[in-house]
Amino acid sequence: PGVVRTREMGETSRRVAGMGIWLETAPWVVLGPLNVVKVALINKPSPVARYIVVPPADECQAACAIARMWACLFWGLQTVVAVAILRRAVTPGLAAAAKTVVGAFLVAAFSHDVVTIVVCAAGLCELTAAACLATGATAVSP
């Protein structure tokens, strides 16, 4: 009986981790393309930008083509990685590595006053998802 209970708890833990990965990853599938359109085509500050980036960063991106190119690269790759994670088309280890890099850079950007606490929180969510993925868990829709 003890072995069965341990196995059940392991499966429950993996399912909870998988739902967490799904909940943290799914928004990127929507946010990524929307932000590519905003940055590449519209190139105007959004009404919610003040909650996400500090004013000089938003103004800098609007004025600088290379900053917009890097932003599109970031959002585009976040979309691709999110879709791959949700479709289980990438190994958990590789997905964990991608999420670790993104999470670390988002937290670092906050520490350098480039983004707000909202983005720092997103970075911490990325790091949490990376930790779940590093255990071998995969995304499971809630």
101, 133 contact by CB (below 8 A): no
pLDDT tens-place string over residues 112-133: 988 899 999 999 999 999 999 9
Contact assessment for residue 71 and residue 35, using Cβ atoms and an 8 Å cutoff: yes
* pLDDT tens profile 39-77: 888 877 677 777 777 777 777 777 888 988 998 999 999
Query: Per-residue confidence at 3, pLDDT binned at 50, 70, 90?
Result: very low
Q: Cα separations (Å) of 123 from 71, 103, 110?
A: 16, 4, 9
Asked if 129 contacts 25 with a C-beta cutoff of 8 angstroms, the reply is: yes
Question: Which residue in 92, 91, 118, 95 sits closest to 107, CA to CA?
Answer: 118
N-term to C-term CA, the chain: 28
Report helix, strand or coil for 53.
Answer: strand
